Structure 1
Amino acid sequence: MVNLFGRNEAQRLLADATAAARAGRGGLVVLRADPGLGVTTLLDAHLSAARELGMRTHRIPVLPQSGTTTLSAGAPDLTEPTTIAIDDLHRADDATLLALHELADGLRDRPLLVVAGRHRGVEPARFAALDRLATAHDLEPLDDCAVRAVLTEFSGGEPPESLLRLADGAGGNPWLLARLTADDRATAVTTWATGLAGDDAALLRYAAILAEPAPVDELAAVAGMTPVDALARIVRLAGIGLLVEEGGLVRFRHPVVRQDLAATSAGLRGSAARALAARNAVPRAVAEQLAHTPVDAWTVDWLDEHSDRLAARPTPAVVDLFHRAVSGLPPGDPRLHPLRAALAEALMWSGRTDESQRIATASLAAHPETTIRHRLRAVLALICFREMDPAAAIAALDPERVDGKLSGRLAAIDAAACLAAGDLTGTERAVELATPAAAHDPLVEVFLLNVEATGLFVFRDLDGALQRLDRADALLEIAVDDRGLWLMSRLLRAVVQDLRHDKAALETVEQARPIAREIGAGLLTWLHTIAALASFNNGLWDRALDEIGAAMALPDQYGLAGPLHGVASMIMLHRGDLPAARVHAELAERSPGRGVAVFYEQIAVLASAHVADAEGNSQRALEIVHTLAAGDVGVHHAHTVATVGARLVRIAVTGGDRDLANRLVAQMRDLSTGESAGERGALMYCQGLVDSDVDVLLAAAQEFTDTGSPILAARAAEDAAKVLAASGRSADARAAYQTAIDQYTALTATGDINRADAALRAFGLRRGATGSRRRPKHGWESLTAAEYRVAELVAQGLTNRETAERLIVSVRTVDSHVSRVLSKLGYSSRIEIALGFGERE
């Protein structure tokens, strides 16, 4: 009864047909299904139920070779209530089908029920006419509930998660589900699948050992046939439910079948590897086959020829193949040193750095030739870089310096290490040494493009940084197969995008995450740091805390604990948890940094300033801001001030130090290129704060809203409300206040809400005991602070261009505001805005 789970509809159909036959109204029922879906079991259950009702039953077999049945000689003449079952009708000969046609014509007036089962994908056109005379029913794979019921019966209780995951590969096929836990499953499944495939069993086995989805022409090549012949056979195998072919790509319908066939077809992998190599398949595809075969001379020669590409993007199978090849070579073999270097590199990119370091160090002790020696030094330096220890990376390269100079590739690595260490002079020197090699070595060029991009964003040339990264990406796509460099390029792009207040930074992080997880160590922690900052800046604070938690759960934070705690501290402050914010700020101060952490030192320092400000210790907060403004923090004060300038100016203004605020604004203006909306918004906001210019503050709030910086948008609206309230413009102040509160509420920024309430209460503005209200969709109260200010200027008779100049925004932004004002107020002209505004005043 196990395979009858999920077959209630089919059982009801057969029960109704049986009742009708007993009443003298017979019929033909055809059950169509893919192999393994339980037709045989269903027929057995049907015959058993019919016998219990007193009906005569007959099971008519189809002979495997000839397809003949007892119906081949003609239809039987039966007068008693009878049910006939025919399994594997797809194998039946033409005479049997003709006999069924004759029977079907007269069954409605006879007490005879014929139930036949067949594979639905086998010659469907041959059975079309018979299906029209029959009641056809398609058996589908079992749904999740039925699968769980089957597994529960097998397990004798709730199936474990491991079995449920395994069952996913069976695709709801009852026959496969019944064998998931069998000791001989691979043999049984192979026998079943190859029996169904018949003459195409070898092709099916080759499909199992190739990576999915396998191109038809590649499968044809390893199977030794033409693509046309292979495709015809694939179509037949698809018809019986074993394969799926879409757009020239082939995959198995049931992953567990592929898995078991591959396990029993290892003998085919050697010939498959040679066939793939002969057609210049990607080395990884050949290596995946060779990983399951003994290492012979051909394998070693092929591996030696393709070791560079394989080592750059290794799989566990490739690493194992390198290991076996190296261990089988005698001392003195000219292929030994190159393959050992490739093995060290493959281990490094696989995250097995201890093994990589041991092999590289031992290989260097054997004094290999210069090219191999440089490759091994590069491995040792990159391991240090991966561990966020740039000083050690520089030291690892020292033995190769001749008169203070390095070869092109080593100089490129040295440049990246010097930059990560904050040594800008050393970076310039290394770049100068590496540049000539970049003309003929794209790998060196990618290294230098990443270094240049970093230097450019440090000095606030964000567009220039993206241009360099675009060129690096093009080379990585066309000429360089190095996932370490690819990951570095992705991470740098995310940093630049976040500095531009571009939400695409979060997408870039997700692109990089799988490779960062594979390589691990400091690069994974760096990814979590970038993701935490981007999430924080975009108002996704729970996501930011998740990234921080994931980083802190790693065995080592590689010097990045400071900025991670700094971000956590600021989130806690925004949410009103000062004790937690204080703890994180203290941890940030105590956490030593190394490597790329030098680019994030301002985050930890800023957190301490915010905590001091929140505690009412404005003197301490201002001292910290003075330190940042003086350029005493971080790799370069241009990067430090530009990154957190808006927050620094706010602390200076709040603390009453206008000179410091003006100094910071001047620094920001000198550093600004005006390339990004985020940069323009920050400068606009700071100038508005210093000048107490409400128009500029509201324009900045809108700019921040448009660029996806919700916390800065809320701060700007709150500061605008304070200026408006101080000048006695209560209605305008209330609108800006409500805008700020709405944005704080969306961020769950309880601490900011409480602080804003307290600050504005001094001006007589209150939200009431019920807290923030939902902004209406229509009417004057529906306008945001920026929209209200635009309406006010329109009412004064200013054109859109004049309004844009007054607010220091684009004309397009004003156009959008005017359109929204008209829509929300239900007006059709600017005159109506002016009249309506006059009535409010």
Structure 2
Amino acid sequence: MLIRQMVGVTGRDVEQALLEALVTDVAAGRGSSLLVEGEPGIGKSALLAAPLAAAQAAGCGVLLGHCDEPGQRLPLSAMTRLLGVHPPSADPRHAQAAPARRCPQARSGRGRRGLAADPVTTATEQLLTHVDRLCTSRPLVLALEDLHRADEATLLLWRRLCRTAAHRPLLAIGTCRPAPSRPALVRLRRELPPHGGQVLSLDRLSEASVTELAGALTGGTAGPRLAARLTSAAGNPLYVRELLNALERAGSLHRAAGTVELPAGGHHTGELRALTDVIADRLACLSADARQMLRLASLLGPAFSTADLTAAARGGALDPAAAAAGAGLLAAVDEALSAGVLEPAGTRLRFRHALLREVLHEAMPPALRTGLLQHAAQQLIAAGAPVERVAELILPAVRDADGWEWKRECEWLADNAARLADRAPGIAAELLEHALRQTDAHGPRRHVLADRLATLYFRTGPVERAEELARTILLETSDRELAGRARWLLTSIALRAGRYQDVEANWRAALGDPRLAPRWRAGLLALLALARGFQGRLGGGRAAMAEALAEGVRLNNATTVGYALNAGALIRSREGDQPGALVLADLALAQIGDDPEPVDLRLMLLGHRAVALDSLGRPREAEEALARARTVAERTGATLLSMNLVRIAERHYEHGRWDDAQAVLDEVTDLPQGRWQLARHSLHTLISARRDNRPQTPGHPEAAATPDDEAAPPTWPVAASYRIVARSLVLERTGRPREALDVLAVLLARAHEYDVRRHPEWLVALVRLALAVDDRGTARAAALESRRNAHIEPLPATRAAAGWCRALLHDDPDRLRAAIDHHRAADRPPDLGNALEDLAVLRAASGDRAAARAAFGEALALYAGLGAVWDARRAAARLRPWGVRAGIRGPRSRPASGRGALTATEQRVADLLAQGLSNPDIAAMLLLSRRTVETHVSHILGKLGVRSRHEVAAATAERPPGPGHRPAAR
């Protein structure tokens, strides 16, 4: 009589009650997350079976997946299998979320692959968006087992799902072993409780529960000798079952009168002291062919396709071509299925338990394991298997035998490195590094491998290693294509880092390099034009741009033409010709079309477009350009995405969407050192200072903005000027206006000429501050510079600023009307509030207290909506000498909870939540990122005191919005 399969769980009443409550909650729209920990075989999977079935019966979508060891080197493999989005997929929503795979034609050697999107980041965002959309149709339960085997990208994605599960009808359940402890799992455990999740540790079963379990498995009551023998199972349900199976196979279990017992004095199972011994005993019952097949299968992972197994077995002892109709392999598979070692898993096979595979894998001598891996890899290469599947086999063989001969595999890697880097960049990097170590210094493929690795590192980091490899290629190769790509890579790295002198040096070196083809020289010349534009060397930049453009047209090279037009757009913008800059940016975007490769170029062009549109009074289109740039950047990796987020946060700050700006800045994870870090810290400082938030720690951005800080290089556009403005504001706020003026007056230098045209309100602040300390000379200089900018670039913003400066300098309130009208129409509440404050001061000084009080009241209302406590205090202090007060009550601050606590954007998001829209849909409507919407949803639920999105509609209908509320920008 065979031992029964375990049905249900024994001794887990408390744990089952917890899972039942979580399922009830998610069915009602209240999400959560749970991590179930326990040793192998303790019953994690069995515990989930009944709750998952109950969730499905309650109308929830239920998806169950597993992580495996080979998948640790394959980004997002577990998540794509869990969500069923690996192509082809029958569900069109799944197909939409599937990670994109580039066609081979798009991977020609003539492309600038280093600038392409990062497929792992792209796939992560697509999968998160897919989950968001699934949750809108019905409650969703995601269960992912064996997280200790998950790849890093899957763990990061899972952590992000768990952090936001409570904000939507999503129950995310993960299982893992407590050891070995991985840093990503430690972070997951730590993050769950603060975000409404729980960690559940499964203890070993009590003796009474073990006896009960044995009875259920054997169909009788365990006798005293059997119960005593089962104590060696240490309360582990799997061990109990396997031990009973071993005793049954040995004929040691006797049944009589409903009791199952061991014979008295029996010792033939005493040597089975560990679970691995029990499993080895099970495998010993199989034939030699079945064991050989299972050894080979264990190299393919816990789950594998029959095609992979057939290919791996070809040419070996189990070669189906050598046996009648493939009977050898089929018979071995059937035997393993009958013995319960393997089981079907859809169209694949898998080991019934990971421990079965582990015992087989570890029992093999390293030399045998390496030989089988190499053989399997070569057979899969010959069969045309997917690149990541082949790489999974090569990598462990490389680690086990560093010096083995792998000429065929090296050739395969050189030919497939680009596709492998798209799917599994970590595996690609490790294999390419190994290949370089093993390849002869003068081997024909060495520089090809170095080129592939440098391209990968430019995209994923470390960039320093990419630069090192590119320099090595330039020193050693005679190949024209490799030399051109290496020079392009070096120049692109220098340009991104703001090392414009290195861009010039690379160009000079390229002029004397006979290996460089004309198309590479033209492309480098376009980068040189861009670098000169950033430096403010507009004449030299214009000449380089014209030459590069002409050469790009002659060569019919769209990318070169795009880069040249991009440089032209930058130069036109710096010359004050925003319409011309917009025309060139649009021409360049049309040139590169839908080509996915030149990501850096596309992002720069969209940035130029946004600046030009904002300057021309087309804010909605500017915001759409930045939203499009964000979508592109989300596919590139953390660095370019973070840079783009800083740009978006800058615009949110200028338009008074300070909560949005803070939410976007909180998304930033990986900024390059230098100007981008500077810009991010400066924006944090400005918002913090204007809201009168005191720095809490020495590392706080505002605390870092001290007057002793070293000045930023003027070649860092806007970021350096933002730092100046932030430092000046901090000094003024701490009662040091003279020092604040000295810092802000640096903006009058020629190095910042372009910046103050982009931000003409900064010169207004300089005039105001200079007059406050009675420095009319500086005030006149700033007003003159503002007037000059309006002449160079006669746009509404520069003209309004020039009139504003003259109004302050000549105490003429009538000249402020144009500025007030402009900022009201442009939806820039911070600048509108400042203009109304100045109007109130000038009206009060002229004796018109009624008009002053009206302007002051409107300014304070705007400040209240922004949370600009410092601006309100400054305004009150300026008007106090004239006897103008805010009124008996003054503007009320926003409450801490309820609908009135919601900011303008949060109210808009809440309205859309109440309509049942998903986060991606809300993000698209409001031109925000999905992650920014997640942050707003979290704040909304907290302020309204509700647990689910379904409850938001009732909570927001309680009362009208609080004071300071204004419609969200659309």
TM-score band, normalised by shorter chain: 0.5 to 0.7
Q: Tell whether the 8 Å contact from 1:559 to 1:595 is kept in structure 2 after alignment.
A: no
CA–CA distance in 1 between the matches of 2:95 and 2:501?
45
CA–CA distance in 1 between the matches of 2:443 and 2:310?
24
1:437 corresponds in structure 2 to 551
Say yes or no: does 1:475 pair with 2:475. Answer: no
- Matched AA of 1:536: Y
Say yes or no: does 1:669 pair with 2:783. Answer: no
Q: Tell whether the 8 Å contact from 1:588 to 1:604 is kept in structure 2 after alignment.
A: no
Say yes or no: does 1:650 pair with 2:768. Answer: yes
Q: Tell whether the 8 Å contact from 1:290 to 1:299 is kept in structure 2 after alignment.
A: no
Q: What SS does the aligned partner of 1:733 have?
A: helix
CA–CA distance in 2 between the matches of 1:521 and 1:150?
27
Runs of 5+ in structure 1 lacking a partner? 5-139, 187-202, 222-245, 247-252, 272-285, 776-841
Instruction: Say if 1:568 and 1:325 are closer, same or farther in 2 by CA, change over 3 A.
Output: closer
Query: Offset of 1:154 from its aligned partner?
Result: 10
Query: Offset of 1:735 from its aligned partner?
Result: 1.4
2:389 corresponds in structure 1 to 292
1:364 corresponds in structure 2 to 474
TM-score by length of structure 2 reads 0.48
CA–CA distance in 2 between the matches of 1:543 and 1:591?
30
Instruction: Say if 1:633 and 1:436 are closer, same or farther in 2 by CA, change over 3 A.
Output: closer
Alpha-carbon RMSD: 5.9
1:380 corresponds in structure 2 to 490
- Matched AA of 2:512: V
Q: Which has the higher contact order (CA 8 A, sep 6+)?
A: 2
Q: Tell whether the 8 Å contact from 1:351 to 1:520 is kept in structure 2 after alignment.
A: no
Q: Tell whether the 8 Å contact from 1:463 to 1:675 is kept in structure 2 after alignment.
A: no
1:717 corresponds in structure 2 to 836
Instruction: Say if 1:476 and 1:301 are closer, same or farther in 2 by CA, change over 3 A.
Output: farther
1:490 corresponds in structure 2 to 606
Say yes or no: does 1:537 pair with 2:654. Answer: yes
Q: 1:670-685 alignment to 2 at 5 Å?
A: 670-672=788-790, 676-685=795-804
2:264 corresponds in structure 1 to none
Q: 1:682-697 alignment to 2 at 5 Å?
A: 682-697=801-816
Q: Tell whether the 8 Å contact from 2:732 to 2:740 is kept in structure 1 after alignment.
A: yes
Larger radius of gyration: 1
Mean CA deviation greater in 317-326 or 485-494:
317-326
1:446 corresponds in structure 2 to 562
1:347 corresponds in structure 2 to 457
CA–CA distance in 1 between the matches of 2:52 and 2:485?
44
1:731-776 deviation per Cα after TM superposition (whole angstroms, max 9, x unaligned): 222211110110011111111112212222222221245222699x
Q: Tell whether the 8 Å contact from 2:756 to 2:762 is kept in structure 1 after alignment.
A: no
1:225-247 deviation per Cα after TM superposition (whole angstroms, max 9, x unaligned): xxxxxxxxxxxxxxxxxxxxx9x
Query: Offset of 1:209 from its aligned partner?
Result: 14
1:113-172 deviation per Cα after TM superposition (whole angstroms, max 9, x unaligned): xxxxxxxxxxxxxxxxxxxxxxxxxxx99948899899979999x9999x99xx999994
1:337-378 deviation per Cα after TM superposition (whole angstroms, max 9, x unaligned): 456434422331233424423432332232222332121111
CA–CA distance in 1 between the matches of 2:52 and 2:606?
34
Q: What SS does the aligned partner of 1:762 have?
A: helix
Say yes or no: does 1:316 pair with 2:425. Answer: yes
Instruction: Say if 1:589 and 1:644 are closer, same or farther in 2 by CA, change over 3 A.
Output: farther
- Matched AA of 1:466: L
Instruction: Say if 1:652 and 1:160 are closer, same or farther in 2 by CA, change over 3 A.
Output: farther
Mean CA deviation greater in 145-154 or 619-628:
145-154
- Matched AA of 1:540: R
Q: Tell whether the 8 Å contact from 2:526 to 2:544 is kept in structure 1 after alignment.
A: yes
Instruction: Say if 1:419 and 1:524 are closer, same or farther in 2 by CA, change over 3 A.
Output: farther
1:411 to 505, 525, 544: 525
Query: Offset of 1:717 from its aligned partner?
Result: 1.0
- Matched AA of 1:353: V
Q: Tell whether the 8 Å contact from 2:840 to 2:855 is kept in structure 1 after alignment.
A: yes
Instruction: Say if 1:446 and 1:299 are closer, same or farther in 2 by CA, change over 3 A.
Output: farther
Runs of 5+ in structure 2 lacking a partner? 1-5, 10-23, 72-84, 104-133, 135-140, 146-153, 155-299, 312-382, 395-405, 895-970
CA–CA distance in 2 between the matches of 1:657 and 1:627?
15
Q: Tell whether the 8 Å contact from 1:533 to 1:544 is kept in structure 2 after alignment.
A: yes
CA–CA distance in 1 between the matches of 2:663 and 2:583?
32
1:727 corresponds in structure 2 to 846
Q: Tell whether the 8 Å contact from 1:312 to 1:349 is kept in structure 2 after alignment.
A: no
Q: Tell whether the 8 Å contact from 1:694 to 1:723 is kept in structure 2 after alignment.
A: yes
- Matched AA of 1:213: A
Q: What SS does the aligned partner of 1:264 have?
A: strand
Instruction: Say if 1:388 and 1:523 are closer, same or farther in 2 by CA, change over 3 A.
Output: farther
1:391 corresponds in structure 2 to 501
CA–CA distance in 2 between the matches of 1:712 and 1:160?
58
CA–CA distance in 2 between the matches of 1:265 and 1:745?
63
- Matched AA of 1:462: Q
Instruction: Say if 1:144 and 1:414 are closer, same or farther in 2 by CA, change over 3 A.
Output: farther
Say yes or no: does 1:459 pair with 2:575. Answer: yes
Q: Tell whether the 8 Å contact from 1:378 to 1:397 is kept in structure 2 after alignment.
A: no
Mean CA deviation greater in 462-471 or 558-567:
558-567
- Matched AA of 1:368: S
1:792-822 deviation per Cα after TM superposition (whole angstroms, max 9, x unaligned): xxxxxxxxxxxxxxxxxxxxxxxxxxxxxxx
Query: Offset of 1:550 from its aligned partner?
Result: 6.0
Q: What SS does the aligned partner of 2:884 have?
A: coil
CA–CA distance in 2 between the matches of 1:323 and 1:209?
37
CA–CA distance in 2 between the matches of 1:456 and 1:169?
64
CA–CA distance in 2 between the matches of 1:739 and 1:557?
41
CA–CA distance in 2 between the matches of 1:697 and 1:727?
14
2:872 to 753, 769, 774: 753
Q: Tell whether the 8 Å contact from 1:169 to 1:255 is kept in structure 2 after alignment.
A: no
Q: Tell whether the 8 Å contact from 2:525 to 2:548 is kept in structure 1 after alignment.
A: yes
Query: Offset of 1:305 from its aligned partner?
Result: 9.2
1:738 corresponds in structure 2 to 857
Q: What SS does the aligned partner of 2:882 have?
A: coil
Q: Tell whether the 8 Å contact from 1:170 to 1:176 is kept in structure 2 after alignment.
A: no
Query: Offset of 1:713 from its aligned partner?
Result: 0.4
Task: Count the aligned residue pairs.
Answer: 572
CA–CA distance in 2 between the matches of 1:412 and 1:760?
54
Query: Offset of 1:461 from its aligned partner?
Result: 2.3
CA–CA distance in 2 between the matches of 1:554 and 1:180?
30
Instruction: Say if 1:402 and 1:544 are closer, same or farther in 2 by CA, change over 3 A.
Output: same
Instruction: Say if 1:760 and 1:269 are closer, same or farther in 2 by CA, change over 3 A.
Output: farther
CA–CA distance in 1 between the matches of 2:810 and 2:760?
19
1:213 to 92, 95, 116: 95
- Matched AA of 1:264: F
CA–CA distance in 2 between the matches of 1:375 and 1:613?
50
Q: What SS does the aligned partner of 1:590 have?
A: coil
Say yes or no: does 1:705 pair with 2:821. Answer: no
Identity %: 23
Q: Tell whether the 8 Å contact from 2:678 to 2:720 is kept in structure 1 after alignment.
A: yes
1:252-311 deviation per Cα after TM superposition (whole angstroms, max 9, x unaligned): x99989x9999634848999xxxxxxxxxxxxxx99944434799999999989999x69
